Amino acid sequence: MQKITPYLWFDNQAEDAVNTYISLFKDGKITNLARYGDAGPGPSGSVMMINFQLEGQDFVALNGGPVFKFTEAISFFVHCEEQNEVDMLWDRLSDGGEKGQCGWLKDRWGISWQIIPAALSELLQDPDPEKSARVMHAMLKMTKIEVATLRKAYNGEE
């Protein structure tokens, strides 16, 4: 069992969110689902809590009511190997949500995600400060990170 598990408090949309998340990530699966009984506080038979996994990482989603909201103070950073993975996750997670700057987005439930291609870190860490500065400047203009545009900036082709 993993020692620390992210615990996500939803109003009443945990099942919809979890089903979306497990459809997007490799080996996504629900590992346990608990429903409210007659004692409540949610409607009897409605989802109370869902344990699920994404890429081997355990999560818990709770339908706890409208007491708490998600903020950008916590986000999920997703390392993407290829642009097509960035594109798919960006499109699906931002659908109904908000697209932010530099690879950040909020999904329709208010959870913040950073969808970041591996190439970004590689290019930003180049020992040539001019190249890495060009990459940083290009990234700061983006919403979704585009590797081809970063590589052009890196090579001075902006």
CA dist., res. 150 & res. 128, Å (int):
15
* pLDDT value at residue 133: 96
Residues of the chain with pLDDT under 50: none
Give me the torsion for CA of 57, 1, 49, 55, rounded to 10°: 20
Same domain, 149 and 74: yes
- pTM as predicted: 0.93
| 11 three-state secondary structure | coil
Burial 44-69 (b: 16+ CB within 10 A, else e): eeebbbbbbbbeeeebbbbbbeeeee
Tell me the three state secondary structure of residue 133.
helix
> Last residue of a domain, which of 29, 45, 68?
68
Upstream peptide bond of 43 is cis (omega within 30 degrees of 0): no
Same domain, 88 and 113: yes
State how far Cα 28 lies from the chain centre: 14
Instruction: Return the CATH number at 55.
Output: 3.30.720.100
**C-beta separation of 68 from 9 below 8 A:** yes
Question: What is the pLDDT at residue 48?
Answer: 97
Domain ends where: 39, 68, 97?
A: 68
Q: Are residues 75 and 149 in the same domain?
A: yes
Q: Please measure the distance between the N-terminal and C-terminal CA atoms of the chain and give it in whole angstroms.
A: 48
User: Based on C-alpha coordinates, what's the Rg of the chain?
Assistant: 19
Domain shared by 43 and 121, yes or no: no
Residue 58 and residue 77 share a domain: no
Query: CA-based diameter of the chain, in Å?
Result: 65
Q: Which domain holds residue 25?
A: 1-68
- Considering only CA atoms, which of 101, 99, 80 is closest in space to residue 91? 99
Same-domain check for residues 76 and 136: yes
Domain tally for the chain? 2
Per-residue pLDDT, 26: 87
Three-state DSSP class for 13?
coil
DSSP 108: T
* pLDDT, tens digit (0-9, with 9 covering 90-100), for 45-91: 999 999 999 999 999 999 999 999 999 999 999 999 999 999 999 99
Give residue 40's pLDDT.
81
Report the pLDDT value the prediction gives residue 60, as an integer from 0 to 100: 98
CB 115 within 8 A of CB 90: yes
49 and 94 assigned to the same domain: no
Same-domain check for residues 62 and 8: yes
